[in-house]
Amino acid sequence: MRVVFHEAFHGSDYSPDPYDNAAEPGRLVGIMETLRKEGRYPVETPSPASRADLLLGHSEEHVAAVEAQPRLYAMASLAAGGALLAADLAMRGEPAFACVRPPGHHASRASAWGHCTFSNVALALLKLRASGAIRSAFVVDFDQHTGDGTMDALRGWPEAQVLNPYGDNAADYLRNLEERLAQAPEADILAVSAGFDAYIHDLGRKLGTADYFAIGRLLQGYAIRLRHQRRFAVLEGGYFIPDLGRNVLAFCRGFE
Ligand SMILES: [Zn+2]
């Protein structure tokens, strides 16, 4: 298991939105401290996604609109690059978690909202497909919010499916995920939009730290069923900063 991270992600002045919770100063500090203290996950440093990579999932107009905001473009293209690197690691047989911001699952082909800019997970999959490395993909998005952007960016690719689990409480949620993974199709890679805002002290008020381990373990089980075991995850939401580190670590321990 590898962690993908760049020190630039600690920067919090990239967002033009003063109410951008994903850009909160210090939001990623606890995550990286906790993962480094665990001592078992080497950290790999990404490069920014190229403009050509971004155009695999976005319109020229959307990319140009972000380019007009240089700080946002620098951060968002690096976040997309983090997802690309995590997907490459997965293809080489190494599970990976990309600790990046801005998140991506509300970024559609031609627009973005909800603290997102570029569709990180979708871009990583589209790049693998463009290179001929994969023909199908399965995405699981366990953020509190539906991955509308990921679904939009992947539309027109029927062999790429997105699963957003649901449930009113943790037990129902885990049961729903387990049942739907049991029916999930064969896929050449598993990609995970890892949002932590369904946490008991966050927006969703539903999942506990142990539930993130359980989610990771269910996803690992699906990847093992696929035999090739290719899997990577990319950070999406998660705004209760004091417990983000332990929740991400719990997920990684299950997913690794
Ligand atoms: Zn969310």
CATH of the domain at 87: 3.40.800.20
Average pLDDT on 71-98 reads 98
Regarding pTM above 0.85, the answer is yes
Ligand 1 centre distance from Cα of residue 131 (Å): 30
Q: How far is the CA of 204 from the centre of ligand 1 (A)?
A: 9
Q: At what angle are helices 170-182 and 209-225 packed, to 10 degrees?
A: 0
CB 137 within 8 A of CB 171: no
Structural domain boundaries enclosing 159: 2-255
Provide the 3-class DSSP secondary structure of residue 21: helix
User: How confident is the model over 104-147, as pLDDT tens digits?
Assistant: 999 999 999 999 999 999 999 999 999 999 999 999 999 999 99
Give the total number of structural domains in the chain: 1
Q: How far is the CA of 136 from the centre of ligand 1 (A)?
A: 25
Note whether 154 and 128 are within 8 A (CB). Answer: no
Poorest-pLDDT segment among 12-21, 195-204, 229-238: 12-21
- Residue 195 C-alpha to ligand 1 middle, in angstroms? 6
Mean pLDDT score of the chain, rounded to an integer? 97
R_g of the chain computed on alpha carbons: 16
Give me the mean pLDDT over the 140-160 stretch: 97
**Cβ of 204: how many Cβ atoms within 10 Å?**
17
| 167 C-alpha to ligand 1 centroid (Å) | 15
pLDDT confidence band for 2 (50 / 70 / 90): very high
Question: What is the pLDDT, as a whole number, of residue 36?
Answer: 97
In sequence order, the β-bridge partners of residue 141 are: 193
More confident residue, 227 or 122: 122
> Percent of the chain beyond pLDDT 70?
100
CA 143 to centroid of ligand 1, rounded, Å: 5
Q: How far is the CA of 130 from the centre of ligand 1 (A)?
A: 28
Identify the pLDDT of residue 126: 98
